[in-house]
Amino acid sequence: MTHSSNIPELVNSLLQKMTLTQKLGQMSQVSGNGGTISDELAEQVRAGLVGSIINEVDTDIINELQRIALEETSLGIPLLIGRDVIHGFKTIFPIPLAQAASFSPDLVEQAAHISALEASKVGINWTFSPMVDVSRDPRWGRIAESFGEDPYLCSVFGQAMVNGYQGSSLSDAGAIAACAKHFAGYGASESGRDYASTNIPETELRNVYLRPFFAAHQAGVATFMTSFGDLNGVPASGNQWLLQTVLRDEWQYTGMVVSDWDSVKQLATHGFTENDEESAHAAITAGIDMEMSSATFRYHGPSLLADKRLDMTSIDQAVRKILHLKFKLGLFSNDTSGLFRPTPSEADFVTSASRSLAKKIAIESCVLLENKKQLLPLNKATLSNVAIIGPLADDGYEQLGTWIFDGEERHSITCLSALQQYLGDDVNIHLAKGLASTRSLESDLFDEAISCAKNADVALVFVGEESILSGEAHCRANIELPGLQNELIKALAQTGTPIVAVVMAGRPIIVENIVDHLDALMFAWHPGTMAGPAIVELLFGQATPSGRLPVTVPRHVGQIPLYYSQKHGGKPVNEDTYIHMNDVPVRAAQTSLGMVSAHLDVHYTARYPFGFGLNYTDVEYSDLALDKDSIGADDELTVSVKVKNTGKCEATETVQLYIRDRVGSVTRPIKELIGFRKTHLSPGEEKTISFVISSGDLKFYNIHMHHTAEKGVFDVWIGPHSASEISAQFSLS
């Protein structure tokens, strides 16, 4: 067993024995061959040209690669085996955006722990997760992989995932190294187009985009991955300010940094370097320790050293971090269980415990957005005929969501099969797909669907996006339901049968054109393996809906970016000042109208605000109280509120705490989430929920780039979502 205090010594003694080729080899990650080992790959490992393998999940192959690294190289340095385990390995949990909607970091931590256990069974020891990019543009496909628009939420969930993957010690069985990605600003790509440039002022970068990365660092994340993006004109993979000044000098991060796939080579494509050699130089100088996929370090490192453009110290620094991680993971342990794995069996994956957790988190991720006339929860005893309609009602693959390389459809339980199981022979099921796929433009299946709906007491309509319509490089300019799904819903609504739409998608979907035709609406995101049982429990009231939106749902794509924590501006809009185009007379005199910040043709509010989600009951907030109305720099205050379930169903309420710093040397957001608590309320039950606020919660990077709390007045809100209105004030003196 290696003690962590010995690691620097062990690393140094190994480093002294290494040739330049071996060092540059450690700094290289190459792709596996997917279930086989080519002669070329075996030779590269044997020659010490490889520090890490990505994308190999066959245990026997991984064991063999490790054996070659251990036994057939002169120094016997084992390999890091990396994989994108993003929301599960074999048991697929809801997409990360959905996991954030759960507002349950504990469950997210447990899910990451199960993912690590499953992945480590095959020999994976490093995942490229969590993605902690703050995502404020739902057109961006990778919003699915994110925890949404809020830096606090992204920080809390990023930390939960890091803790779940890494456990208390990386050398424990079942722990794998996590990776905070994509450092940094990747989610702010122009027009929500993946890989597009980002332009983020430093205060905004520090107050919003860097915060979750710092939180991941505080949680002890083992690795960072750079972004593909061009940040303020300097691509992240060659950005010295980001990787050296911020990450290493200010944050004192000592772990390793990996590039993204080919992102070192792409420095030349960006027009930041002239060629591969310059890219290797820029990336190593900036602070990239390991290059993913492209091999510029390996090819050009020797000439860069020979020409004295790089010195051995910078190479040694990088290799030291890589070796350090390998020791910490226990890969050098004499006990080979740290390295070699027995071939796993079916029973190692998708167990009843992992299924039950996947169901629980899927339940907590679903957000109920409409429930007219309290249509939900449904009561099986009062139903004779149920229509089950839609392209996603029975699709075990699409429900898994984006970026699942190892999840298998055969483990999925679809909504149809869960409904059949639950409704049994007591209720007639009328089944129709309505559309061949979510994107279909053919309406030939409409008639069948309409007649199913006509004959039913209620129509459950499963619509959304196929998983390939979100995720990396899968951005959309129009984020309504694709294909003819809106038309299908309108046609079904004409039957007069109540319509419940369950939307499975990788992003918030704009529902403006269909919401009036729906009786109930639930965003289920892509819920994973256990979508069916989770959704059925919610629809029939065995579980209460408790998911809340981790992103704002706009009314129209033209409002984007629309997020709750925008700035006030000099001419803010409100109900009294808003003017719609239809209220402006034709040939009106030239004025700047109401002189407020709004669009003429779309109401300024969101369709559903951040943090919003309905219960099956009403929860009332009252008596917001502060124990002090002023605090000093070292004080704390307690803010509390009463929450009461005034309806007849159980509730799980997510009580949310927001503040606004009224005046700042840098203007402050109109609201910022600084805490939340999920609490169960039985019918009639009232609870007092309290939060402690300290000056630490009020800190931000000010005009001088100091992380500090500035004196002055603060508003504080506690409520069910970001647009709620119950507030009080206190001051910091």
C-beta of 131: minimal distance to ligand BGC in Å?
A: 7
Rounded least distance, CB 72 to ligand BGC, Å: 27
Taking the complex as a whole, how short is the minimal distance between the CB of residue 406 and ligand BGC, in angstroms? 12
In sequence order, the 6+-apart residues with CB closer than 8 A to the CB of 455 are 385, 387, 430
Burial class (CB in 10 A: 0-12, 13-18, 19+), 648: exposed
Q: What SS3 state is found at 398?
A: helix
The residue (of 32 and 533) whose beta carbon lies closer to ligand BGC is: 32
Is 87 an interacting residue with respect to ligand BGC (CB under 6 A)?
no
The span from the CA of 159 to the CA of 240, in Å, is 25
Please give the Cα distance from 565 to 568 (Å, whole number).
Answer: 9
Q: Is 140 in the site for ligand BGC (CB under 6 A)?
A: no
Q: How far apart are CA 244 and CA 648, in angstroms?
A: 57
> Residue 325 or residue 709: which is nearer to ligand BGC going by CB?
325
Nearer to ligand BGC, 128 or 730 (CB): 128
Residue 84 vs 653, nearer CB to ligand BGC: 84
From the candidates 84, 260, 276, 519, give the one annotated as an active-site residue.
Answer: 260
Q: Which is nearer to ligand BGC, 403 or 714 (by Cβ)?
A: 403
SS3 544: coil
- Helices 531-539, 352-365: axis angle to 10 degrees equals 50
Q: Which two structure tokens, joined as six digits, stand for 110? A: 């447990």
128 is a site residue for ligand BGC (CB under 6 A): yes
Q: How many whole angstroms separate alpha carbon 518 and alpha carbon 614?
A: 15
Hey, which residues does 428 pair with through a beta bridge? 385
Q: Closest separation between CB of residue 243 and ligand BGC, Å?
A: 17
Q: The tokens of 392 are what?
A: 């996603």
- Report in angstroms how near the CB of residue 144 gets to ligand BGC at its nearest: 12
User: C-alpha angle 611/486/478, rounded to 5°?
Assistant: 65
Comparison of 84 and 118: residue with beta carbon closer to ligand BGC: 84
Least distance in angstroms from the C-beta of 195 to ligand BGC? 9
Would you give the binding string for ligand BGC spanning residues 417-456, x where CB under 6 A is met? Answer: ----------------------------------------
Q: Decide whether 64 or 472 has the Cβ nearer to ligand BGC.
A: 472
CA separation, residue 167 to residues 223, 260, 329, 505, 610 (Å): 15, 25, 11, 31, 31
| C-beta closer to ligand BGC: residue 128 or 297 | 128
Q: Say how many CA atoms lie within 13 Å of 113 toward its Cβ.
A: 17
To ligand BGC, the closest distance from the beta carbon of 263 in angstroms equals 8
Q: Does 230 bind ligand BGC (CB under 6 A)?
A: no
Give the distance from CA 422 to its chain's centroid.
Answer: 31
The least distance separating ligand BGC from the CB of residue 127, rounded to whole angstroms, comes to: 9
Instruction: Give a three-class secondary structure readout of 122-136.
Output: HCCCEECCCECCCCC
Q: Quote the least distance from Cβ 718 to ligand BGC, whole Å.
A: 36
Q: Is residue 261 a contact point for ligand BGC (CB under 6 A)?
A: yes
Instruction: Write b or e for each residue in 611-634: b if 16 or more Cβ atoms lie within 10 A of its Cβ, otherwise e.
Output: bbbbbbbebebeebebeeeebeee
Residue in the structure block whose two tokens are 């991720």: 365
Q: Which residue is nearest to ligand BGC (CB)?
A: 128
Residue 297 or 612: the one with the smaller Cβ distance to ligand BGC is: 297
How many chain residues are in contact with ligand BGC, going by CB under 6 A? 6
User: Can you tell me which of 133, 149, 230, 260 binds ligand BGC, judged by CB under 6 A?
Assistant: 260
Active site residue 230: no
Site string for ligand BGC, 610-639 (x = CB under 6 A): ------------------------------
Question: Binding string to ligand BGC for residues 170 to 209, with x set by CB under 6 A, is what?
Answer: -----------x----------------------------
Give the count of alpha carbons within 13 A of 403, CB side only: 27
Residue 405, both tokens = 């390389």
Residue among 330 and 471 whose Cβ is closer to ligand BGC: 471
8 Å CB contact between 547 and 101: yes
Identity of the residue, 189 or 485, whose beta carbon is nearer to ligand BGC in the bound complex: 189
Let me know if 56 is exposed, middle or buried by CB neighbors in 10 A (0-12, 13-18, 19+). Answer: buried
Q: Give per-residue burial for 310-335: e unless 16+ CB within 10 Å, then b.
A: beeeebbebbbbbbbbbbbbbbbeee
Structure tokens at 331: 């890969």
3-state secondary structure of 173: coil
- With CB under 6 A as the contact rule, the residue among 64, 204, 250, 472 that binds ligand BGC is 472
Q: Which residues contact 567 (CB under 8 A, 6 or more apart)?
A: 667, 668, 669, 670
Q: How far is the CB of 227 from ligand BGC (least distance, A)?
A: 8
Binds ligand BGC by CB under 6 A, chosen from 84, 278, 394, 672: 84
CB–CB of 502/524 below 8 Å? yes
User: Please, which residues bridge with residue 657 across strands?
Assistant: 675, 718
Q: Which helix (H) or strand (E) holds 727?
A: strand 727-732
- Least distance in angstroms from the C-beta of 523 to ligand BGC: 24
Q: Which residues bind ligand BGC (CB under 6 A)?
A: 84, 128, 181, 260-261, 472
Report the catalytic residues: 260
